[in-house]
């Protein structure tokens, strides 16, 4: 047990920093003279007190985190932070006489921090602005991973960050250091994130969004989260210009932020199109969007320009795991919504703010499959798996295969749990797929024109677990369940 004290100390630090993040909605509530403003100081005080007790109580256990500590801490953070994030939601909604249980509030908080974009709330347009600011700000914090930010800050407090970075970073290729120190890497990634955020917010404002709307939708666009302050989602604005701006930033955020970081450091863009994952990601997204538009036109769903507008935006929005909607795409030919949901699993890069399996894993799987087919014809052939000019070693290939096996088993198991509750198969399977991909809307009764409020508490907890597993990329969490992990 004493071995976990350093983890609890760092968790305390993170809770104190998270309490500071609550000052954002508190400031909005106070400036707007909202009747619910008092719930925020209470939430800040509660979170800061718990964090402070852990931090100071465990302060004598200061030491560098080991890899095992990093996995435990990341898993703890993604369970504990939503507890704190749900507190202002639950208190504020109860004060407004909106019936909401702890299950609903925790689901909403997990959805925000994991950038899933699933919601259980109705009447978003009538909610106090601070609640929507908090919901969307949670997605911005979760976009690159709260722990990446912590890696940049914690060394100043005496805690090294490399173990946290490895456990939290998205995708299979995350051991390559972009700078000699992980702290500098994390700061650089957040620098890129900040630049995109400022540019996106200003672009939305210039495109006609009111300042607070621009801020909230910036939070959920660059994070590929997709929550909105309106029940109608992005359709509320009915603006081709704003949709085009959102498209640009969704495409940018779906690519590996490390490429932007390296380009800024070296002052050149040559590495962009040399990266096979980036080429594949952009190609699949644009190709999928144009194919969707073509199909909508050929099926006489829309006129050509409307088919291009609605097809490209909604396909790319779902494929990037953002989940903004400008139409109810469940009314489209059934092939398209299914294609969009499947694309949400593969059409973002490792190191991006998106969810899902990640494009690099699919590239490795396809190249490994081609190598196996070659061996069937030429058993003695030596054909390494390459990504660009780099040779992918067998350890990474086995890691990808293991991930895919666990991913498939997780989706099937959780879907079966929902089916046990008599949920219809389409809703059950797509709710789990959308949750594991951190995408939000599924099909059936959790489609873009509905939300997750119709699920029972048990069904919500299953989807909550799916979102957490998807955010942790499954294996990090599964490692906690193996007996060997807990042996010294």
Residues contacting 479, CB < 8 A, separation 6+: 71, 485
352 touches 258 (CB < 8 A) = no
- Alpha-carbon distance 145 to 147, whole Å? 5
- Alpha-carbon distance 312 to 244, whole Å? 10
- Alpha-carbon distance 262 to 251, whole Å? 18
Residue 390 three-state SS = strand
Question: Binding residue per annotation — 439?
Answer: yes
> Own/partner pairs for 305-311, CB < 8 Å, 24+ apart?
309/240, 309/243
Which residue, among 185, 190, 188, has the nearest Cα to 162 in the 3D structure? 185
Please, what's the b/e burial string for 213-245 (b: 16 or more CB within 10 A of its CB; e: otherwise)? bbbbbbbbbbbbbbbbbebebbbbbebeebbeb
- Alpha-carbon distance 275 to 401, whole Å? 22
Residues contacting 459, CB < 8 A, separation 6+: 418, 421, 423, 431
- Alpha-carbon distance 454 to 477, whole Å? 28
Tally Cβ neighbours within 10 Å of residue 180. Answer: 8
Question: Binding residue per annotation — 157?
Answer: no
Question: Binding residue per annotation — 176?
Answer: no
Q: What Cα–Cα distance (Å) separates residue 436 from each residue in 69, 113, 421, 431?
A: 24, 14, 19, 9
- Alpha-carbon distance 245 to 204, whole Å? 7
Quickly list DSSP for 431-459.
HHHHHHTT----SGGGSTTS-GGGS-HHH
Annotated binding site for K(+): 115, 224-225, 321-322, 439
Annotated binding site: 115, 224-225, 321-322, 439
């Amino acid at each position: 047990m004493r071995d976990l004290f350093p983890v609890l100390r760092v968790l305390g630090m993170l809770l104190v920093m998270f309490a500071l993040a609550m000052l954002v909605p508190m400031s909005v509530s106070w400036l707007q003279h909202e009747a619910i403003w008092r719930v925020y100081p209470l939430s800040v005080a509660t979170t800061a007190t718990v964090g402070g007790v852990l931090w100071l109580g465990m302060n004598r256990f200061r030491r560098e985190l080991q890899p095992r500590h990093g996995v435990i801490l990341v898993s703890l953070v993604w369970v504990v932070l939503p507890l704190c994030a749900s507190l202002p939601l639950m208190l504020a909604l109860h004060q407004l006489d909106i019936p909401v249980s702890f299950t609903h509030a925790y689901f909403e908080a997990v959805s925000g921090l994991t950038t899933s974009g699933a919601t259980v709330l109705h009447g978003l347009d009538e909610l106090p602005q601070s609640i929507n600011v908090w919901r969307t700000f949670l997605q911005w914090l979760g976009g690159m991973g709260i722990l990446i930010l912590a890696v940049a800050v914690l060394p100043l407090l005496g805690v090294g960050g490399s173990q946290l970075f490895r456990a939290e970073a998205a995708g299979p290729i995350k051991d390559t250091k972009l700078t000699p120190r992980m702290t500098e890497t994390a700061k650089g990634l957040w620098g890129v994130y900040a630049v995109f955020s400022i540019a996106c917010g200003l672009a939305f404002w210039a495109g006609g969004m009111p300042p607070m709307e621009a801020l909230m939708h910036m939070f959920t666009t660059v994070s590929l989260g997709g929550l909105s302050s309106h029940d109608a989602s992005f359709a509320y604005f009915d603006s081709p210009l704003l949709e085009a701006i959102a498209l640009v930033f969704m495409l940018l955020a779906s690519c590996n932020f490390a490429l932007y970081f390296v380009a800024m450091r070296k002052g050149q863009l040559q590495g962009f199109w040399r990266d096979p994952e980036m080429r594949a990601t952009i190609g699949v997204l644009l190709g999928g969007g144009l194919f969707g538009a073509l199909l909508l036109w050929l099926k006489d769903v829309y006129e050509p320009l409307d088919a291009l507008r609605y097809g490209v935006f909604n396909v790319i929005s779902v494929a990037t795991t953002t989940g903004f909607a400008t139409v109810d795409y469940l009314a489209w030919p059934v092939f398209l919504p299914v294609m969009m949901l499947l694309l949400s699993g593969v059409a973002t890069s490792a190191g991006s703010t998106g969810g899902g399996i990640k494009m690099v894993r699919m590239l490795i799987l396809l190249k490994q499959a081609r190598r196996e087919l070659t061996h069937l014809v030429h058993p003695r052939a030596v054909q390494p798996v390459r990504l660009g000019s780099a040779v992918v070693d067998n350890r990474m290939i086995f890691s990808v295969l293991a991930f895919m096996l666990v991913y498939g088993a997780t989706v099937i198991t959780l879907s079966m749990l929902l089916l046990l509750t008599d949920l219809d198969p389409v809703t059950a399977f797509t709710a789990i797929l959308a949750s594991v991909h951190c995408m939000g809307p599924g099909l059936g009764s959790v489609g873009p024109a509905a939300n997750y409020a119709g699920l029972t508490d048990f069904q919500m907890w299953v989807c909550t677990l799916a979102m957490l597993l998807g955010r942790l990329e499954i294996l990090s969490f599964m490692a906690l369940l193996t007996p060997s992990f807990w042996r010294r």
